A and B are shown apart, each in its own frame.
Chain A
Amino acid sequence: MTLRADLKLIAGMVPEGARVLDLGCGDGALLAWLAEHRGVRGYGIEIDEGQITRCIARGVNVLERDIDEGLLDFPTDGFDVVVMAETLQAVRKPGIVLEQMVRIAPRSIVTFPNFGHWRCRLELATAGRMPMARHLPHAWHDTPNIHLCTFADFEALCDARALTIYDRKVVNAQYQDAWYMNRWPNLFGTIAVYGLRRPGAAP
């Protein structure tokens, strides 16, 4: 089984044998891969009926649940790693979800598309229209993405909520990196993978 490029990036940040919670786990591809290759015991949270059935079909543990309805009943440090891939921009209260993530596990991995990418900036500046791109394929009025942000916005939020960023990988839409993305991530990076923890949590 080959893993989608963005999930491969995340998988590289998950230690062997970890207990993993995947928020917005989709069809369960990441958890299935981690179980097979890393001996990970994982659980997915998903709200889409079709995706839930796909998880069940591949033997991935999945709990039907709306992330926005809260994660308070998950115990503190009940997991080793919490993952949220390309879901942050679709939740109602991203700040609260991030705070809950760093509580539930000592390590959180978050990925999301960069609205500050130069193509987005150019389209808004020149055409005066909400940008659509390969990593942002939806029209503004018909999109699950209700909280798009730039890398700079995200880092400001983490700063305000006292969340420690312990890792950051910036890549393009093909999930490759390049020196200019590392030099000017908020301008050239398309997707970012952030490692977060609460202050004081062991790195």
Chain B
Amino acid sequence: MAETAHSDAHSVGLVKAEQADFSGPFPLASGETLSAYSLMYECYGELNAERTNALLICHALSGHHHAAGYYDLEEPKPGWWDVAIGPGKAIDTRRFFVVALNNLGGCHGSTGPASLNPATGRPYGPDFPTVTVPDWVRAQAALADRLGIERWAAVVGGSLGGMQAIQWALSYPARVGAAVAIASTPRLSAQNIAFNEIARQAITADPDFHGGRYLEAGTVPTAGLRLARMLGHVTYQSDDGLREKFGRAVRSGDLDILQDVQFQVESYLQYQGKSFSRRFDANTYLLMTRALDYFDPARAYGDDLVATFAAMQARLLFISFTTDWRFPSARSREMALAALRAGREVSYVDVEAAQGHDAFLLPVPRYLDVLRTYLAGLEGQS
């Protein structure tokens, strides 16, 4: 099966991660400064001679630079957004030069809490500065400069990635042709922040967390990370979606005598939590959820979303999913209406999908069709 995937004409095929090193200082919104940093990234497709067909992919909470294709033929799973990126796919690599990166503070090779702090020679750990969505976008702009990309034909992202697309249009109005924000929101609700805080508490309460210095202590707060991921994962799914997938199916044990019963959904969540805790850094999780909580571009515009969108130039597309209760349709609708009132070119589509927030990562036909149609109409592509 993996063989078929690799020989698939719609796959970008084998890809290679690149590293861009930047010598600082890189001042952050928090007032702190990074003396130097590196970003991991991948590119798919060809940059045209006019350099007008570049498209930036921004990742969500647990994402990274490996968005499409395979590192080697043994790799069972492609990049995290392979359903959308490739030749002939919604984000068509025959038309666009696609760039995906791992954000600052990430744990997949870009400078983050697990990197060595040049000032101490030890891992940053909890000393890694707070980073915000605007910080990420400035770092992405530095990468764009390095790649010789003056203007993106589009900046595209789902969830936290959608926030970066919005921020791009705000921070660099002239450098973005279109911003596409999928399953996103202009700010987190109290409920959203509450879920993030429970996840953070799960991590910091783990005895293996050691105040964030677990790398030096030689431990990993896997129990906390597992719990955080399980909680997050439930909020990314819909009630209907979980019912469709698992219902009340029992994996083991006996419901008649109530002995050692394990429902399918439990074992699924435990698997998700376990695999996540092996590959994700706890401090990065804390940092990413904080960046989510702090995101509020309208704050600088007197909490006026219309004034916020008035400061942009990009064309905007918002896509939401009907069963997403993490960042519900109403939030995308709110942004679309504010953009309309601000006189922006804007479209908004509410896709019926049972998969909740996670739908943005899944092959939902109407969603990918809308994305493909929209991107195909943009200027600058090959």
- Residue numbers of A with Cβ under 8 A of B are 19, 41, 43, 49, 52-53, 55-59, 61-65, 73-75, 78
Chain B, 345-382, contact with A by CB distance < 8 Å: what is the 0/1 string?
11111100000000000000010011001101100000
Instruction: Give the 6 A-B residue pairs with the shortest CB-CB distance, closest first.
Output: A63-B348, A64-B350, A56-B373, A64-B349, A57-B373, A62-B347
CB pair B336–A63 under 8 Å, yes or no, is: yes
CB pair B343–A41 under 8 Å, yes or no, is: yes
CB pair A64–B343 under 8 Å, yes or no, is: no
CB pair B347–A56 under 8 Å, yes or no, is: yes
- Residue numbers of B with Cβ under 8 A of A are 333, 336-337, 340-341, 343, 345-350, 366, 369-370, 373-374, 376-377
Which of B337, B340, B350, B373 is the one whose CB lies under 8 Å from A53? B373
CB pair B349–A52 under 8 Å, yes or no, is: yes
Residues of A within 8 A of B347 (CB): 55-56, 61-63
Residues of A within 8 A of B377 (CB): 56-59
CB pair B346–A63 under 8 Å, yes or no, is: yes
CB pair A53–B346 under 8 Å, yes or no, is: no
With the chains together, A41 CA to B342 CA distance in Å?
A: 12
Residue ID in chain A nearest B376 by CB atoms: A57
Residue ID in chain A nearest B338 by CB atoms: A73
CB pair A56–B337 under 8 Å, yes or no, is: no
- Within the complex, what minimum Cβ distance (angstroms) separates B332 from chain A? 10
Residues of A within 8 A of B373 (CB): 53, 56-57
Residue ID in chain B nearest A19 by CB atoms: B343
- Within the complex, what minimum Cβ distance (angstroms) separates A48 from chain B? 12
Residue ID in chain A nearest B320 by CB atoms: A64
Q: A65 with B333: in contact, given A56-B373, A75-B341 (CB under 8 Å)? A: yes
With the chains together, A19 CA to B346 CA distance in Å?
A: 14
CB pair A56–B336 under 8 Å, yes or no, is: no
| A-B contact list, 9 entries, CB within 8 Å | A52-B370, A53-B373, A57-B377, A61-B345, A62-B348, A63-B340, A63-B348, A64-B348, A64-B350
Residues of A within 8 A of B336 (CB): 63
CB pair A53–B343 under 8 Å, yes or no, is: no
Taking A43-B340, A49-B366, A63-B340 as given, write out 8 further A-B residue pairs in contact, using a Cβ cutoff of 8 Å, ordered by the A residue number: A53-B373, A55-B347, A56-B374, A57-B377, A63-B336, A63-B348, A74-B337, A75-B341
Residues of B within 8 A of A75 (CB): 341
With the chains together, A55 CA to B346 CA distance in Å?
A: 12
Interface centre among A49, A62, A64 (most CB of B within 10 A): A64
Residues of B within 8 A of A74 (CB): 337
With the chains together, A64 CA to B336 CA distance in Å?
A: 10
Residues of A within 8 A of B345 (CB): 61
Interface centre among B333, B336, B347, B348 (most CB of A within 10 A): B347
Residues of B within 8 A of A55 (CB): 347
With the chains together, A52 CA to B347 CA distance in Å?
A: 9
With the chains together, A114 CA to B373 CA distance in Å?
A: 37
Residues of A within 8 A of B340 (CB): 43, 61, 63
Residue ID in chain B nearest A66 by CB atoms: B350
With the chains together, A195 CA to B346 CA distance in Å?
A: 27
CB pair B346–A61 under 8 Å, yes or no, is: yes
- Within the complex, what minimum Cβ distance (angstroms) separates A45 from chain B? 10
Residues of B within 8 A of A65 (CB): 333, 348
Residues of B within 8 A of A59 (CB): 377
Residues of B within 8 A of A58 (CB): 377
- Within the complex, what minimum Cβ distance (angstroms) separates B336 from chain A? 6
Residue ID in chain A nearest B366 by CB atoms: A49
With the chains together, A43 CA to B336 CA distance in Å?
A: 11
With the chains together, A64 CA to B366 CA distance in Å?
A: 13
Q: A53 with B369: in contact, given A63-B346, A64-B349, A64-B350 (CB under 8 Å)? A: yes
With the chains together, A41 CA to B340 CA distance in Å?
A: 10
Residues of B within 8 A of A53 (CB): 369-370, 373
CB pair A56–B370 under 8 Å, yes or no, is: yes
Residues of A within 8 A of B337 (CB): 63, 73-74
- Within the complex, what minimum Cβ distance (angstroms) separates A69 from chain B? 10
With the chains together, A41 CA to B341 CA distance in Å?
A: 12
With the chains together, A171 CA to B340 CA distance in Å?
A: 34
Residues of B within 8 A of A57 (CB): 373, 376-377
- Within the complex, what minimum Cβ distance (angstroms) separates B258 from chain A? 46
With the chains together, A43 CA to B340 CA distance in Å?
A: 8
With the chains together, A59 CA to B317 CA distance in Å?
A: 11
Residues of A within 8 A of B374 (CB): 56
